[in-house]
Structure 1
Amino acid sequence: MPMETYVLYLAAVAVFFATPPDTSQLLIISNSVRHGLRRSVYTIAGNLTANSLQMTGAAFGLAAIIATSASAFIWIKWFGVAYLGWIGVQLILSKDQPDDVTANASGYSFRLFRLGFVTSMANPFAVVFFGALFPQFIDPTMPILPQLFILGTTYLVVDGAILLLWGWLGVRAATALKQVSFGVVNRVCGALMIGAAVLLATRDFQPDR
């Protein structure tokens, strides 16, 4: 892949991420406020794992299937909307004290991973996005798989770095919130979850980063 093509791809990805927080980013902020950045890394890992599967699907032509029969995948999106909304309501109505994660740390880590994975996979049209993005920067005269690997890995690195940044900002906000009460933290995080559900509900054929 020519260096000028790669630089152009980096610029395109940077422009794409230069937006207000999206569904996954709101999720990371919420989890970082409640659990700290270290535990939120599990949510980021779930998100990036889902993105990796979506990229693989795009590489194998799944984007064309989704684009021609989108109605078959709508239920996935609404499952994600309901899942995020349900968690948001639970947080708003929850007790005014932190969760006890020490008794089952591995199970709680998996729960955070699952939350990131489901949130990202709930938008199957992300496959369509990757299927449209990558061909614009692939040189057909060169081996395709190495180019897909470079483009996909670059996207995941940029996405992961931005999610970490949002998580760090969430931790900074948590300091002020936790001086009020943990009940306020839960309600703020629940509102963020519901906001993420609303964003997901209003999106069509948009990537869930």
Structure 2
Amino acid sequence: MPLETYLIYLAAVGVFFATPPDTSQLLIISNSIRHGLRKSAFTIAGDLTANCLQMTAAAFGLAAIIATSASAFSWIKWLGVAYLVWIGVQLILTRDSTDEVSADVSGERFRLFRQGFVTSMANPFAVVFFGALFPQFIDPAAPVLPQLFMLGVTYIVVDGAILLLWGWLGIRAATALKRFSFGLVNKICGTLMIAAAALLATRDLQPQK
């Protein structure tokens, strides 16, 4: 892949992320406020794992199937919406932080990983997005798999860095919020989760123009 093409791809990915926080980023902010950046890294890992699977699906041509079968896949999105609303309502109804204390550290890590994974996988648009993005930067005269690998790894690195940045911003917010009651922190985080659900609900399976 020519350097010029790769730099254009980096710029395109950068422009894509130069937007207000999306569903996954709101989840990272919420978990960073409640659990800290180290624990919310498991949520980031879950999100990026889902992205890898979505890229693989796009590489095998499933993007076209999803794009033409939106009604068949819409239930995935709505399950994700319900999942996020459920988390949000639980947080809003929690009055203190006692639910955060758990001896099952591995269970908590898996729960945070699952939140990131489910939230990302609940957006089938991502497969369509990767299916539309990658072919624009692939040279058909060169081996395709190495190019897909480079594009995919680059996206994961940039996405991971952006999620860490949003998590850090969440930590900065937590410094101020935790001077107040934990109930207020939970209500704010729950509201973020419901906002993430609303964002997911408004997404469709058609690539954005």
TM range, normalised to the smaller chain? over 0.9
Offset at residue 132 of structure 1 (A): 0.4
1:128-147 counterparts in 2 under 5 A? 128-147=128-147
Deviations 1:135-169 (A, max 9, x none): 00000000000000000000000000000000000
Distance 1:105 1:39 in 2: 10
Distance 1:102 1:192 in 2: 23
2:172 corresponds to: 172
Structure 2 unmatched runs, 5+: none
Structure 1 unmatched runs, 5+: none
Distance 2:35 2:121 in 1: 23
TM-score norm. by structure 2 comes to 0.97
Is 1:186 matched up with 2:193?
A: no
C-alpha contact 1:126 1:206 (8 A) present in aligned 2: no
**Secondary structure at the residue paired with 2:180?**
coil
Distance 1:67 1:100 in 2: 40
C-alpha contact 2:66 2:205 (8 A) present in aligned 1: no
Distance 1:181 1:130 in 2: 42
User: One-letter code of the match for 1:148?
Assistant: L
TM-score norm. by structure 1 comes to 0.97
Offset at residue 70 of structure 1 (A): 1.2
Is 1:84 matched up with 2:72?
A: no
User: One-letter code of the match for 2:90?
Assistant: Q
2:49 corresponds to: 49
Distance 1:123 1:110 in 2: 20
1:204 corresponds to: 204
Offset at residue 101 of structure 1 (A): 3.9
Distance 1:32 1:206 in 2: 31
1:106 corresponds to: 106
Offset at residue 96 of structure 1 (A): 1.4
C-alpha contact 1:98 1:182 (8 A) present in aligned 2: no
Offset at residue 68 of structure 1 (A): 1.4
C-alpha contact 1:101 1:108 (8 A) present in aligned 2: no
Q: Which moved more, 1:44-53 or 1:100-109?
A: 100-109
Distance 2:143 2:137 in 1: 13
Identity %, equivalent residues: 80
Distance 1:153 1:199 in 2: 26
C-alpha contact 2:50 2:121 (8 A) present in aligned 1: yes
